[in-house]
Amino acid sequence: MVDEKGMDFPVSWDELHRTARALAYRLDSLGPFKGIVAITRGGLVPAAIVARELELRLVDTVCISTYDHKDMGEANILKGIDGDGEGWLIIDDLVDTGKTAKIVREMLPKAHFATVFAKPAGRPLVDTFVTEVSQDTWILFPWDVELAYAQPIRARKGK
Ligand SMILES: O=P(O)(O)OC[C@H]1O[C@H](OP(=O)(O)OP(=O)(O)O)[C@H](O)[C@@H]1O
Ligand code: HPA
Ligand SMILES: [Mg+2]
């Protein structure tokens, strides 16, 4: 779908699994880490995949909510975490504007911040990521979609 937020970029479960494993592969040489801090909710699935690959069993959460579907609002910090993050790995699904990442970095300045996807505006705030997509792309994660009829491309264009 194309709307004012740009083109949708759908990601399947398989692709997400493969890309999160690629992230774990990169992170393996940057550790060892004490544990993972998952940024809910989007970071939960990638964090589970990375935790499995890096054999990390200590997993905590920072809970932040900024978007209502594609509409950005104020960042609500629902749950923080103590300490400066030294030795910890923070995992989120993506950085977009970098608003969430900035809050998390201020909260845990010594942690390593990693995401599966990055858009250019947020990229400088991430230590490690795998796939960059353009700023006007909207990533559709597999947990946000269901299988449904898709109109042929020509019909969508009204031909
Ligand atoms: O770089 P930003 O512009 O801050 O956008 C990225 C953040 O937005 C999304 O979270 P959201 O607030 O939608 O909450 P959710 O993870 O619970 O879906 C996504 O999971 C990132 O955490
Ligand atoms: O591109 C995105 N996809 C899903 N959630 C998001 N939250 C901020 N940007 C995005
Ligand atoms: Mg999130």
Write the pLDDT tens digit of every residue in 59-85. Answer: 999 999 988 888 888 889 999 999 999
Q: Best mutation site among 65, 68, 139, 141 for ligand 2, i.e. most ligand atoms within 8 A of its Cβ?
A: 139
Tell me the pLDDT tens digit for each residue of 105-122: 999 999 999 999 999 999
* pTM of the complete model beyond 0.90: yes
Tell me how far apart the 2 most distant CA atoms of the chain are, in Å: 58
What's the rounded Cα separation, in Å, for the pair 151 and 69? 22
CB atoms within 5 A of ion ligand 3 belong to: 42
149 CA to centre of ligand 3 in angstroms: 28
Q: Which domains does the chain have, with CATH numbers?
A: 9-145 (3.40.50.2020)
Ligand 2 atom nearest the C-alpha of 42 is 5
Distance CA 133, CA 138 (A): 9
Please list the active-site residues.
Answer: 92-93, 96
Tell me whether residue 137 is annotated as binding. no
